A and B are shown apart, each in its own frame.
Chain A
């Protein structure tokens, strides 16, 4: 049965990956409802919904933080993709002088130490009157989000043949229908992946949100980090689940898009 023998390593790999992915999430899930859980006990002595009661009670401002985080990440993802599509197209399909410099500049926000960059950006945003506002936080999140989105889409565009567009145009298609019928369908998986990445980058920002948002723009990471440092593990665990759930959901919803790609 050669087919099964060939499949065995793949199944094994899948199980290994699934275990590695699920164990941390599972531990956090147990931690959020555990009470009196001391070494060497494998299982907590008591179970409690204390942390979850707090998370849903509204007295920690978690609902508001969830809304702000989602709205912020969606706006950042949309803007990042809008900026990244033309940039990636040029980078993938054209050669021009200084292309390497542009690429380096694009990668710079991913290379610079976040805290140092954040302090400098904070000063710039203060002078521009953009600190402590939602707009300011959107702009500052774009700085790390756009490079990721652009890199993903550059890969997508490098497999894209612009002759298809030329062909459609010679057949009389308007620029709009070229875009909606030829270009967009071809790059859709890349657009989705870039959007998700930009969403996750914005979703997980702590330092930039704290400095530029000034506590006025309250996102989930700001609430979560306070509990992690405070040592209340149950609440931190429950908040961690609230924090990762939307991202997992997003991946699950968009997974069909990548099956063909």
Chain B
């Protein structure tokens, strides 16, 4: 084969591999103002939606490959394809590169996102929207709940989906009564050297753990940290908190000379009896782990009386999503009571929808949801719930923790 013929054959193969895209279904978010919801679902019907999500959980993967996909196929003839991510930031970096390269037609329609990843995505302008107001099922969510995501204003670029709340796990076989407040927890740590630790910042859960001491510093009610950044308040509240976290260090596991890097490591220390507490953003995590044989059956969770951070995770659409109508239809379905009930059955978690808006049948279904042995009642969690701090508090606090607690 001559080299010229080889080049022709090669480029034809490459073109064939790339050119199988099909007709364009893309439209700008501004068009939503002129569209009715049935226009959206008509466009979405029969399409394929590619959903990128963190896929490190067996129950979660089973749910989206199974019941969730089946319901979408049945109701909207939509085929849901999962794009598994080990870390959502992998997708964010990819979208940033695609934006820089001018790639207008991407490969992902929908992404499960929140927190720092959302902030990066919003700042980089890689999200399609605003679209949230167009969703009929938005009425099921408390408007306060989705205005901010970790202190970043959502601006209609992501729709609320799942709700999380920080909980602490302990083993009844080792601890009879867990500390009642964060202050009592601090005393407990000082009284039991080497029996406690938390994942090092920038781990998301470790950062939240440390931040609870800021929110409960007593300088201002936790809600005062939620809206905007007040430098004077931060300086006043953070200094003693950072000092006390530094003073806590010698009483931590391995004298605080090293911290676990991930939650998985923290859980391993906890089940192996090296430390007495673990922590997580999923209120059902301990029950799930008991069911999987990863935690002993005597593990329980608790939430200190002063309350723990609760926030939402969201669904967003990449700027170059090939099928935004399909993504919108899937998001709206995922926000429905029937999906939330199905999801709670399949993988636990909090029920994030407003109970007072539910039909009587749905309410009964929610009341009948099974609760794992280590999971707190919904009502207990609801009364001990605080909003997270505004993004800049989080950034400053993480920076101060690194320089004043970790490195000193």
Using CB atoms and an 8 Å cutoff, list the residues of chain A in contact with chain B.
34-36, 38-39, 46, 48, 50, 54, 57, 59-61, 119, 122-123, 126-127, 129-136, 210-211, 214-216, 218, 222-223, 225-235
Contact = CB atoms under 8 A, between A and B. Distances in A.
B86 A231 contact: no
A197 to B, nearest CB: 24
Contacts of B274: 39
Interface in B232-264: 262-264
A43 to B, nearest CB: 14
Given A39-B273, A135-B18, A210-B90, A215 B52 contact: yes
A138 to B, nearest CB: 9
Contacts of B108: 214-215
B97 A39 contact: no
A225 B292 CA distance: 20
Given A36-B293, A226-B85, 7 more contacts: A38-B271, A61-B84, A133-B18, A210-B90, A214-B94, A226-B54, A230-B264
A215 B58 contact: no
Given A38-B271, A39-B272, A46-B293, A126 B61 contact: no
Contact of A126 (B14, B54, B97): B97
Contacts of B273: 38-39
A129 B272 contact: no
Contact of B101 (A34, A39, A50, A126): A126
Interface of B: 13-14, 17-18, 50, 52, 54-58, 61-62, 65-66, 82-87, 90-91, 93-94, 97-98, 100-101, 103, 106-108, 262-264, 267, 271-274, 292-294, 296
A215 B83 contact: yes
B65 A127 contact: no
- Is the contact region of chain B dominated by helix, strand, or loop, or is it mixed? mixed
Given A126-B103, A131-B103, A234-B292, A215 B85 contact: yes
A223 B84 contact: yes
B297 to A, nearest CB: 9
A86 B125 CA distance: 47
A135 B17 contact: yes
Nearest to B53: A226
B262 A231 contact: yes
Given A119-B97, A226-B55, A230-B56, A54 B62 contact: yes
Nearest to B103: A126
A185 B93 CA distance: 47
Contact of A232 (B52, B58, B62): B58
A230 B282 CA distance: 13
A250 B131 CA distance: 51
Nearest to B15: A129
Nearest to A122: B97
A50 B288 CA distance: 13
A120 to B, nearest CB: 10
B56 A226 contact: yes
Most chain B CB neighbours (cut-off 10 Å) among A39, A225, A231: A231
B164 to A, nearest CB: 15
Cβ-closest 10 pairs across A and B: A230-B56, A35-B293, A231-B264, A215-B83, A39-B272, A126-B101, A135-B17, A225-B86, A226-B55, A226-B56
Contacts of B14: 129-130, 135
Contact of A231 (B13, B56, B66, B100): B56
